Amino acid sequence: MAEIRSILATDCGSTTTKAILIERQGDEYRLVTRGEAPTTVEAPFDDVTVGVVNAVREVEELSGKTLIGPDGKILTPAGDATTGVDLYLSTSSAGGGLQMTVAGVVKEMSAESAERAALGAGAIIMDVIAVNDGRKDHEKVERIRALRPDMILMSGGTDGGTVTHLQELAELLRAADPKPRLGVGLKLPVIFAGNQEARGPVEDTLRDVVDVRVVANLRPTMDRENLLPAREAIHDLFLEHVMQQAPGYGKLTTWTSAGIMSTPNAVGKIMETIARERNIEVLGVDIGGATTDVFSVFKGIYNRTVSANLGMSYSICNVLTEATLPNIKRWIPFEEEDAYIRNQLRNKMIRPTTIPQDLRDLQIEQAAAREALRLAFEHHKSLAREMVGVQQQRGIGDLFEQKGGGRTLVDLFGLDMIVGSGGVLSHAPERAQSALMMMDAYAPEGKTSLTVDSIFMMPQLGILSTLLPDAATQVFERDCLIRLGDCIAPVGTAREGEDCVTVVVNGQTVAVPFGQIKVLPLALGETATVEARPARNFDLGEGKGRSATFSVDGGVVGLIIDARGRPIALPSDDRARVAKLREWLAAMGLSAEQQQA
């Protein structure tokens, strides 16, 4: 595809439609300009293409190119250097995104595999139905009937395994006679990805009430997952059923050079591409107003989870409920009444588009963000796990009793890069605030690169990566990603002020005692070799007390030495806690109080 010189890509979000223009400049692709406009999927417009055209009009004005023809459509292919583009792509999460229910035989096995497949395809999981989920059959039927998802993914049984349990699940679905969220009179799509020997009975049971699609088994054997066929079927049905019913999407589909992709699916694609191209382990987060999505690639395995009740505006009171006020309050660098903090968070929920007006309000919001990021990460670790049932002598009764599955794939010592995205991280007034939020929420271990997505164009780059991975990687590296700096963090604990780690960088030896953060100057584009010597109770990945040598890259914050130990402990006394938080803010070059004009 060497002839592709210009690319226009849009992302239709729930509130804003964003457009970016990418062009080939010499040997590489670069971002030229971007535009945005309100999304128009709802009344009074009821046509998503109106918002798309408005966003592209802004790109036209800024670039001086003609991108929309007399008929109101995007001009493809390009006519000349100033007219049209070679490729037009789009992603979408407007209209509530892709909402799914998954069903499996054993909650901790086939249902969990179905959950991973659906999450990886960009879905929000409304519920997980399983034979052993503890609910009575009539409760499951009522639940399925009430949910009205966009589609259902059904799985269970290894090939040659159980058939009767899958028939039971099919009977439940038949009794519920579920209806789709969009499209009056259409049958609900149900993807069957279970034991191939159960395909006939399941299809016979469900044929009259739902639209059944059969794909390869998600768990053909106990020790192997095959998620790709189910994910591809989800993507195809998303285009066929969900997108075609949403206002204006039928028209938008005729404009694009490739199918529309769901926004979370696209973000996952760029994460996978970066991990593969650079051979690194990556953790990414997109913290939005209503949800927090976490993406990871560990040992070459991609996982995504969505915490549908953890967000920074519509869902901020859910963060307050789940995290509890003391956990949010522990990150606030001043003493304040509980009622004031609660009211600030409630105000954000009822006025979701407002932004903090002073530093104290910002610090309360960023404290809540730390807890939303932490809780979403805990949820992610619980689902990004090794296979259950591998090389273990168990009866079927034991399988029904399993709790928690295999070990988590998330290895913080092995983690190479954290990518932060979403308003609270991408648009923090100071980049060091974003770095500190991620350090506090994720407590990275060993050496980890901290980065943020500057203007949230990962969805557009994700769909581009499926066609032109080199172009997507080049723009991601040069125009999307902002390097904050590398963080070196020993694991262990000690008393305040005791020896923790000594680093040697550029001929300079710096000792950082326990409980402190130290930022060393290392600018963007600079590299260095660091020898880190931990005290005998601390580990940098080589074993307790063993030195480690790292190649580090500079960033807008610098090289961060985090000697707060793991887990990060805060003083229980309020005054001591506030003093310690202020000390850490000062170490990161941040002010704890509003500067007087």
Asked if residue 343 lies in contact with residue 325, where contact means CB atoms within 8 angstroms, the answer is no
How many Å apart are CA 225 and CA 341, to the nearest integer? 45
Residue 130: burial class (beta carbons within 10 Å; 0-12, 13-18, 19+): buried
Residue type, 525: G
Place of tokens 């000062």: 586
CA 475, 440, 525: angle at the middle one, nearest 5?
35
Instruction: Report the side by side order of strands in the sheet with 28-38.
Output: 28-38, 16-25, 6-12, 87-92, 261-262
Residues of the chain falling short of pLDDT 50 = 1-2, 390-404, 597
- Which residue ranges form the domains of the chain, and what is each CATH number? 6-94 (3.30.420.40), 97-247 (3.40.50.280), 282-390+407-587 (no CATH)
* Main-chain phi, psi angles of 446, to 5 degrees: 70, -135
Place of tokens 């995504």: 304
Place of tokens 């493809």: 76
Residue 482 β-bridge partners: 452
**Nearest Cα to Cα of residue 487 among 421, 547, 427, 440:** 440
Please tell me whether residue 410 adopts helix, strand or coil conformation: coil
How many Å apart are CA 260 and CA 258, to the nearest integer? 7
Q: DSSP string of 28-79?
A: EEEEEEEEEEE--SSTTT--HHHHHHHHHHHHHHHH--B-B-TTSSB--S--
Cα four-point dihedral sign 169, 174, 178, 179: positive
Q: What is the pLDDT of residue 1?
A: 47
How many Å apart are CA 6 and CA 564, to the nearest integer? 47
Q: What is the pLDDT of residue 389?
A: 52
Give the CA distances from residue 518 to residues 273, 550, 573, in Å, rounded to whole numbers and listed in that order: 33, 17, 24
State the pTM of this model. Answer: 0.83
CA 101, 106, 107: angle at the middle one, nearest 5?
50
Q: What pLDDT digit, counting tens, does each position of 25-47 carry? A: 988 999 999 998 888 877 788 88
492 DSSP assignment: -
Asked if residue 507 lies in contact with residue 535, where contact means CB atoms within 8 angstroms, the answer is no
**Nearest Cα to Cα of residue 568 among 470, 436, 450:** 436
Query: In whole angstroms, how large is the CA radius of gyration of the chain?
Result: 25
Give the CA distances from residue 178 to residues 239, 306, 319, 463, in Å, rounded to whole numbers and listed in that order: 20, 24, 31, 32
Roughly how many angstroms between the first and final C-alpha of the chain, as a whole number?
Answer: 55
